[in-house]
Amino acid sequence: MKYLLALAFGTLVCNLLFSQSLSRTGFKALQQKEDSMIPLSWRIVQGINTSDRFEADSQFTRIFVRALAIQNSFEFPFDSLQTISKIYPPDSSFRIFTWQLLVNENLVRQHGAIQMKTSDGSLKLFPLIDKSDVTENPEDTIADNFGWIGAVYYKVIEKEYKGKPYYTLLGYDENNIRSTKKIVEVLHFENGKPEFGGHFFSIPNNNALPRNPARYVIEFKKDASPRLNYDPELDLIVMEHLVSESNQPQKKWTLIPDGDYEALKWRNGKWVYIDKIFNQVTPEGKAPVPNPYGESKLKPNAEN
């Protein structure tokens, strides 16, 4: 009798797992759609002009949404879309797709979507609408997916406070011809809907940084490439300190890394600013590099 019960239970579990997995037909359909999206994804970033890039982005988005609507599409990785960032939190409760579209040399727009993992494999999707170019103060803005401050995300850090998960996103924005931005912001879900930004930063008075912003943003010279990533061993978000190469810190496009490192530490539901994490003197040309700080590369645009 116990054997029969165990067998019946095992069969039930297998059936449930099978019913929630991507079918062979669905997998083939997704492969076909991915194949048609690959050239479009490259045209979005390499199109010969703005019109060509916009057309590619529009076609790509339509096919992509239809692909995601296939039952259990969450199980399909879309690994062949090399210009599209795809990140998952440790709990795998959702994934975020983001990519960028060069409008002109002074305007880069990000597009994206959050796909939630659902118990029945149906599609639950939140489009991300970039409103950064019409938002007066992005660093203090708290918004839903329709007021998103655009970024291409390359890392998600899952933290918890009072039993609720919070997802910290690290991203970059090519911004314009003179400067690039990197962004740290917290995503959480209220009543099942995404909310970006919030009172999750504790930063003291500092001439170079706003106090307690809704998101942490650094802007720097176009080819400077300062490090900003999460170190799991230190349990810190570590970033290189920036200084102006022309002694004009108000001009963000003059900021470059100086070899020192600062950090953010999660404490009691906030990222607390630490102004220096290394005390040794840094020899010129030999900046310390904590391990690991290597950030994955997206082709053809790396987040650096």
DSSP string, the chain: -HHHHHHHHHHHHHHHHHHTSPPHHHHHHHHHHHHHHHHHHHHHHH-SSHHHHHHHHHHHHHHHHHHHTSTTGGG---TT-TTSEEE--TT-SEEEEEEEEEEETTEEEEEEEEEE--TT----EEEEEB-GGG-S-GGG--B-GGGB---EEEEEEEEEETTEEEEEEEEEE--SSSEEEEEEEEEEEETTEEEE--S-EE---BTTB-SS-SSEEEEEETTT---EEEETTTTEEEEEEEEETTS-TTSGGGEEEEEEEEEEEEETTEEEEES-S--S---TT-----SS-PPPP-SS----
CB 202 within 8 A of CB 214: no
261, 174, 276, 264: which is closest to 219 by C-alpha?
Answer: 174
Please report, rounded to a whole number, the percentage of residues in the chain having pLDDT higher than 70.
82
Q: Which residues of 99-138 are buried (b: 16+ CB within 10 A; e: fewer)?
A: bbbbeeeeebbbbbbbbbbeeebebebbebbbbbeebeeb
pLDDT in tens, 148-203: 999 999 999 999 999 999 999 999 999 999 999 999 999 999 999 999 999 999 98
CA 228, CA 303: separation in Å to the nearest integer?
10
Mean pLDDT of 219-228: 94
Q: What local confidence, expressed as pLDDT, does residue 266 receive?
A: 97
CB 173 within 8 A of CB 160: no
Mean pLDDT, rounded, of the chain: 87
Checking if the pLDDT of 93 tops 80, the result is: yes
pLDDT tens for 123-148 read 999 999 999 989 988 999 999 999 99
Cα(first)–Cα(last) distance of the chain, in Å? 61
Q: What is the pLDDT of residue 189?
A: 97
Q: Which residue has the higher pLDDT, 150 or 298?
A: 150
Contacts of 176 (CB under 8 A, 6+ apart): 105, 106, 107, 108
At position 141, the amino acid (one-letter code) is T
pLDDT score for 105: 82
Other beta carbons less than 10 A from residue 180's beta carbon? 23
Q: Report pLDDT for 291.
A: 42
Residues with Cβ within 8 Å of residue 127, at least 6 apart in sequence: 112, 113, 145, 146
